[in-house]
Amino acid sequence: MCLAIPGKIISIKKQNATVDFRGIKKEVDISLVSAKPGDYVVVHTGFAVGKLDKKSANESYKYFDEYIKTKHGKNT
């Protein structure tokens, strides 16, 4: 129930977006987020509930780098 896969918005018509989930296209209501075509959204029961910031997709490493810097005073 809490399993949400992120999908990419292909097109938008009013509050409805066509979202591509790894090749499977679905209609998704985007009235709970402000999103535009190209954005990645996290979808639950037909609604986008959050946006995925693709730029920081490698975020866990960003945190790791920060951790190493503060902990050992060096970069990875």
Partner 1 sequence: MNPTNTLMNISKQNTEKILDEIKKLAKSIGRETRLMGLCGTHSQTIAQYGLKNLLPRNIKLVAGPGCPVCVTAREDIDAVIGLALAGMPLAVYGDTLAVPGSTESLENARQKGADIKIIYSIKEALKEQKIKPDLVFFGVGFETTAPMTAWAIKQGLRVYSAHKFFPPAMAALLKNKKIKIDGLIDPGHVSAIIGESPYKKFEIPQVITGFEPEDVLMAVLMLLNQIAEGKRDLENEYGRVVKKNGNEKAVNLINEVFEQCDAEWRGIGLIKNSGMKIRKKYSACDAKIKYRRTIAEILSRTKTKKTACRCGEILQGLIEPNQCPLFKKICAPENPFGACMVSIEGTCNIEYKYAR
Q: Which residues bind partner 1 (CB under 8 A)?
A: 1-4, 29, 31-33, 42, 44-47, 49-54, 56-57, 59-61, 63-64, 67-68, 71, 76
CA-CA distance, 14 to 29, in Å (whole number)?
Answer: 9
Q: Rounded to whole angstroms, how far apart are CA atoms 4 and 58?
A: 19
Q: What is the nearest approach in angstroms of partner 1 to the Cβ of residue 50? A: 4
Q: Which is nearer to partner 1, 10 or 57 (CB)?
A: 57
Instruction: Give the integer Cα–Cα distance in Å for 34 and 44.
Output: 16
CB 25 → partner 1: shortest distance, Å?
A: 14
